[in-house]
Amino acid sequence: MDITAGTIALTLIWGVAIGCIYMLLASGLNIIFGVMKLVNFAHGQFLMIGAYLTWTISVAAGLNAYVAILVSMIAVAGLGVVIERLTFRRVLGGEKLNEIFVSLGLIYIFENAALLIWGDQSQQIKSPFYDMSLKLSTISITYDRIVAVFVVIAVLVGFGLLLYKTRIGLAMRATSQINKTASLMGINVERIYMITFALGSALAAAAGGLYGIIFSFNSQSGSMPTIIAFAIIILGGLGSIRGAIVGALLYGITEQLATLFFGGIWSSAVAFVLLIVVLIIKPNGLFGEKGE
C-alpha cells in the first residue's frame, strides 16, 4: 500500500475509533480494579459474550444493532452479578494469585460455552449503516466507526455522571479509597462490589457490541482485547481515568500505524514493545500514582 498523507490520516482515524472501543473495555477493567482491587483477566470474555448477545438480539428480534447493544449490556450486567456472587466474592481479599486463577477458569468456561452455543463460525453484527461510508476527497471512512466514537463518548459521559453525581458513585469512590472506613460509614461494601462488577461487565458488553459491528468475531475473540485493555490501563497508570483515555488512544493509533508500516503480524507486538519501554522508564505507568 502506498503511504500517502491520506492513508496516514485514515490510519489515525481508524486508530482513534479502535482506541475508543478499547477505552470502554479498559474503563470497565479500571473501575473493577479501582473499587474491588480485583484483577479480572476474563474481562474480554464479557466483551465476547456482549458481542454474541448483541448479534443474537439484532438477528432474532430484528432490533437495530445499536439498541441491541443496550439490551445486551443489561443482560451481561446480570451475568456479571451472578459471576461475582458465585466466584470472585469467594476469593476476594485472599491470595492475589487466586483471582487470576479464577479468571483463567472463567476464560475456559466462557470461551467453550460460547463455542458450544454459537458455533465456530465467525460472525459480524449488521448495523443500519452497513456498507455506508463518508467520503472525504481521497479517503473514505465507514459510518460505523464514526458512530462508534460517539457511542463511546456518550457511554463514558453517562459513566462519569454516575460516578461523580450520584450517591452510588460517591459510595463507589469511597469504597475505592478505603473499603473498611466506607463500611463504617454505612456503605454496604458487598453491594457496591456487586454494582461495580455489573457496571464493569456492562461497559465490556458495550465495547463488545461496537467491536462486533466493526470486526468479525468468534468465541476466541475475547483474549486479546483483555490483554490490550490491561496494557492500556498499565500504560496510563492503574486507577487513573485520564490515563486510561490517553492510553487507549495511544494504543489504538500505535497499533494501526504499526500495521500500516510493518504489516499485520506486528499490530499487537509493537504496542507491547511500547508498553515494555514505558514500564522500563516509568514503572508506574504514564499517569500512575507513586506507591500504587
Partner 1 sequence: MPLQQQITMFLRSKSFQLLVVCFAVLALIPIFITDSFFLFVFTLIFIFAIYAASWNFLANSGQGSLGHAAFLGIGGFSSAIIGGRISNALIGVLGVNSMPIGALSVLIQVSVLLIGGLISAGIGLLIGLACVRLKAWYLAMVTFGFTVIAYSLSSQFDSFTNGINGFAPTTFVPGGYSFYILVITFAATSIAVMYLIMKSRMGLAFRAIHGNEAEARMIGINTAKYKLIAFVISTFFAGIAGGLYVYFIRFVDNSIFSPANSFLPLIMTVIGGLGTLSGPIIGAVFLTSIIQILSLQSVTQSLSSTLGPLFPKVGYAGPPLTYLIIGVILLIIVIFSPKGLTSLFRKFYNYIITEDKPKGPKTK
Q: Give how far Cα 170 sits from Cα of 238, 273, 289, Å.
A: 19, 37, 21
- Considering the rule CB under 8 A, would residue 183 count as an interface residue with partner 1? no
* Site track 232-271 with partner 1 (rule: CB under 8 A), x = hit: --x---x--------------------------xx-xx--
3-state secondary structure of 215: coil
- Considering the rule CB under 8 A, would residue 118 count as an interface residue with partner 1? yes
Q: Give how far Cα 263 sits from Cα of 17, 223, 229, Å.
A: 19, 21, 22
Q: How many residues bind partner 1 (CB under 8 A)?
A: 44
- Considering the rule CB under 8 A, would residue 78 count as an interface residue with partner 1? no
Residue 182 contacts residue 175 (beta carbons within 8 Å): yes
- Considering the rule CB under 8 A, would residue 153 count as an interface residue with partner 1? no
- Considering the rule CB under 8 A, would residue 91 count as an interface residue with partner 1? yes
Q: Where are the alpha helices (DSSP H) in 37-64?
A: 43-60
Which helix (H) or strand (E) segment holds residue 139: the answer is: strand 139-142
- Considering the rule CB under 8 A, would residue 84 count as an interface residue with partner 1? no
Q: Which of 63, 67, 87, 189 binds partner 1 (CB under 8 A)?
A: 87
Strand partners, 123: 217
Q: Would the CA dihedral through 148, 51, 207, 272 be positive or negative?
A: negative
- Considering the rule CB under 8 A, would residue 192 count as an interface residue with partner 1? no
Residue 150 contacts residue 205 (beta carbons within 8 Å): no
Cell of 48: 465476547
Name residues contacting partner 1, limited to 94-113 (CB under 8 A): 94-98, 100-102, 104-109, 111-113
Of residues 215 and 272, the one with the C-beta less far from partner 1:
272
* Site track 19-58 with partner 1 (rule: CB under 8 A), x = hit: --------------------x-------------------
Name residues contacting partner 1, limited to 211-230 (CB under 8 A): 223, 227, 230
Of residues 195 and 234, the one with the C-beta less far from partner 1:
234
Residue 55 contacts residue 125 (beta carbons within 8 Å): yes
Residue located via cell numbers 514505558: 278
Question: In the chain, helix, strand, coil percent, each to 5?
Answer: 75, 5, 20
Closest among 42, 52, 41, 13 to 209, alpha carbons compared = 52
- Considering the rule CB under 8 A, would residue 63 count as an interface residue with partner 1? no
Of residues 91 and 194, the one with the C-beta less far from partner 1:
91
Of residues 112 and 216, the one with the C-beta less far from partner 1:
112
Given the rule CB under 8 A, which residues bind partner 1?
Answer: 39, 87, 90-91, 94-98, 100-102, 104-109, 111-113, 115-120, 223, 227, 230-231, 234, 238, 265-266, 268-269, 272-273, 275-276, 279-280, 283
